[in-house]
Amino acid sequence: MADFSIYLHALALSGAVFLALWPVSLALRDVGVVDAWWGPGFGAAAIAVWWVAGGPDNARALLLLALILIWSLRLGVVMVRRWFCHKEEDRRYRMIRRAWGASFWWKSLFIVFILQGVLQWLVVLGPLSGMIAAPVSPGPLVVVGGLIALSGLTLETVADAQLDTFKRNAPDEALMTTGLRSFVRHPNYSGEILFWWGIWLIAAPVAPWWAVLSPILLTVLLAKVSGAPILAETLGKSRSGFAGYAERTPAFIPRLFSRKVKRPAS
């Protein structure tokens, strides 16, 4: 098992960048700039730890590194493009800004920037532990995990592309219920969850037991904390018809059978 101090290089890198972005957010009066480093930060952490560990070149390590880099680059491009296209601060951050009032400028350092840095590090710890572990011959879990991770990556890529196309062509307050979102409300989150569970399966045979906490934490964040709940609250207030859409469309997993519609008694 690797010396735990090796992971602190990832924490230091993540924290340094998030801290550097905080004064930028004050100057722009837009904390949405923090999202630009969420994806790329994972890739940077993976490279840093891989390098400090001596650049392990076994198949499992290289597969984990490649998948994380592809995922981080894709998400980074998506978030940076969206940030530049936004005319104002993201609704999520505007809600927090209103809630905290005049003190938001300094509280944002802790509740937005430092918090995201810590969460980013905790989520990436599991894959990093598998990447730098002593190499063993890849087994079936590597193949299964790789397929699941690629499926998740494809799902979220298509979901984000569909959403961006919809936003370019639809009115500002329109609710997207087509494409993948006709089957689930949050296909990009579904893809994200699939990806990180696939990554864990690749790492699991050589990673310590606590590596499973990484996909668990990511799943909880998206499903119960900062992902779907906040998006649902935002869409419920800004998009007419969202309540009905949420009632008939599952959040993450498509229904295998259509829900039966109750008919009034004659």
- pLDDT digits over 94-133, tens only? 888 888 899 999 999 999 999 999 999 999 999 999 999 9
Q: What pLDDT does residue 263 have?
A: 43
Considering the chain, what percentage of its residues have pLDDT values greater than 70?
95
* pLDDT class of 259 with cuts at 50, 70, 90: low
Tell me the CA end-to-end span of the chain in Å, nearest whole number: 69
Q: Which pLDDT belongs to residue 91?
A: 77
Q: Which pLDDT score is estimated for 266?
A: 40
Six token digits for residue 235: 């869409």
Predicted confidence at residue 230, as pLDDT, reads 85
170-228: pLDDT as tens digits: 887 899 999 999 999 999 999 999 999 999 999 999 999 999 999 999 999 999 998 89
Residue 35 main-chain phi, psi, to 5 deg? -65, -20
- Contact yes or no for 113/43 (Cβ under 8 A): no
Is 260's pLDDT higher than 70? no
**Block residue for tokens 């990673």:** 207
d(CA 49, CA 8): 9
Let me know: does 191 contact 156? Beta carbons within 8 Å. yes
Percentage with pLDDT > 90 across the chain: 67
For the ranges 25-29, 45-49, 90-94, 133-137, the lowest mean pLDDT is seen at 90-94
Per-residue pLDDT, 96: 84
Give pLDDT, residue 198: 97
Residues in the chain: 266
Q: Which residues fall within 8 angstroms of residue 87, CB to CB, at 6 or more apart? A: none
Nearest-angstrom CA–CA distance, 81 and 85: 6
Domain boundaries, the chain: 1-90+98-135, 136-255
Q: What's the pLDDT at 237?
A: 82
Q: Is 55 helix (H, G, I), strand (E, B) or coil?
A: coil
Which one, of 97, 41, 49, 99, lies nearest residue 72 by Cα?
A: 41
Element holding 46 (H helix, E strand): helix 38-52
**Has residue 135 got a pLDDT over 90?**
no
d(CA 103, CA 196) in angstroms, rounded, equals: 35
Region at 179 (left for phi over 0; alpha for psi -120 to 50; beta for the rest)? left
Q: What is the Cβ-side half-sphere exposure of residue 7, based on CA atoms within 13 angstroms? A: 20
pLDDT higher than 60, residue 257: no
Q: How far apart are CA 3 and CA 30, in angstroms?
A: 38
Which two three-digit tokens encode residue 6? 């090796």
Mean pLDDT, rounded, of the chain: 90
Which value, in Å, is the radius of gyration of the alpha carbons in the chain? 20
Which tokens go with 81?
């493009």
Q: Residues 238-247: pLDDT tens digits? A: 888 899 999 9
**Helix, strand, or coil (residue 258):** coil
Q: How many CB atoms within 10 Å of residue 216?
A: 14
